């Protein structure tokens, strides 16, 4: 579907940040702030799992190491 444009380290960092934000949103923050942070956590989590960042496309940027 989309060509991956994220390297292994980039993906791992995004997944970790997504998990941390989701945990904060569900366990630490309460009310609306917790819901918003939990929803925002989906962005780095999904992009890290898929390996594609839409913001990298217009910037013609990629973190995949080339040989």
pTM, two decimal places:
0.88
- Confidence category of residue 1, pLDDT binned at 50, 70, 90: confident
Give 31-57 pLDDT, tens digit per residue.
999 999 999 999 999 999 999 999 999
Q: Give Cα separations from 56 to 4, 30, 51, 65 (angstroms).
A: 10, 33, 11, 15
């Amino acid at each position: 579907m989309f060509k991956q444009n994220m390297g292994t380290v980039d993906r791992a960092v995004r997944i970790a940040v997504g998990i941390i934000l989701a945990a904060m949103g569900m366990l630490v923050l309460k009310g609306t702030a917790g819901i918003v942070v939990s929803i925002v956590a989906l962005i780095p989590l999904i992009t890290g799992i898929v390996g594609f960042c839409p913001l990298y496309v217009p910037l013609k940027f990629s973190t995949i190491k080339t040989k």
